[in-house]
Amino acid sequence: MLPITICADTHGQFRDVRCILSTCGNPSSQTYLFLGDYVDRGSQGIETVTMLMCFKIKYPTRVYMLRGNHEDANTTLIYGFYDECINRFPNDEGELLWHIFMMVFNMMPLSAIVGDRVLCMHGGISPHLNDITMIENIPRPSIVPPYGLMCDILWSDPDDRYPGWALSARGISFTFSSKVIKEFCETNNIDLIVRGHQLTADVGYSIIYLFKFQIFNFK
């Protein structure tokens, strides 16, 4: 599966996704892992997620798609994807299309392991997550709950302003410190956590903690 291109938070930016594919290579020859948030905010969520799903069907061992916090019915009602569907496809077709997408989103995986040493997810770890294998036991299809392990995987953030775990200013889930990450990586025998969910610098990624156990943000 290596080397692999990891992307996050495309948010309906269809042209940006096409640019990524043009720059990094067609999925016929390059492996991709997308960390979620394909819809909302941008104006072409339908094209973005549909194109990636088509690539997943055509190249199942080269395209991998995780679920983000915006692959959720309640979130899409607020941030634009529901409106995009019903405005572009009137006469109940848009409502049906939106429901079909939600059914697909509810089946999407929450994490991936790359090279046995790199944990990838949209948001972050959870105080309820002691062992990586616990993620495999989260049932699918699933609606995103307001709290708990699944919620945290999609919503949590790294933040060293507070020691250990702290309630997130988002009003949902938690933040976690570098100490928590180091202990988690050691316990689970991994070297790196790769996640999205937050805006990064102009280069498209950021290294959050500068030691062996690091977090990257890709956006």
For residue 89, pLDDT over 80 is answered with yes
Of 11, 70, 122, 197, which one is the catalytic site residue?
A: 70
pLDDT band at residue 203 under the 50/70/90 scheme: low
For residue 202, pLDDT over 80 is answered with no
pLDDT band at residue 217 under the 50/70/90 scheme: very low
Q: What is the mean pLDDT of the chain?
A: 91
Dump pLDDT digits (tens) for 90-110: 889 999 999 999 999 999 999
Q: What is the mean pLDDT of residues 161-188?
A: 94
Catalytic residue check, 122: no
DSSP 3-state of 217: strand
**Using the 8-state DSSP alphabet, how is residue 199 labeled?**
-
d(CA 194, CA 216): 5
pLDDT band at residue 48 under the 50/70/90 scheme: very high
Cα four-point dihedral sign 93, 82, 217, 114: negative
For residue 67, pLDDT over 80 is answered with yes
pLDDT at 199: 76
For residue 214, pLDDT over 50 is answered with no
- CATH number (3.60.21.10, 3.40.50.300, 2.30.130.10, 3.40.50.720) of 4-218 reads 3.60.21.10
d(CA 55, CA 28): 9
For residue 207, pLDDT over 90 is answered with no
Pair 32, 3: CB distance under 8 Å: no
Task: Calculate the CA dihedral of residues 134, 72, 155, 131 and round it to 10 degrees.
Answer: 0
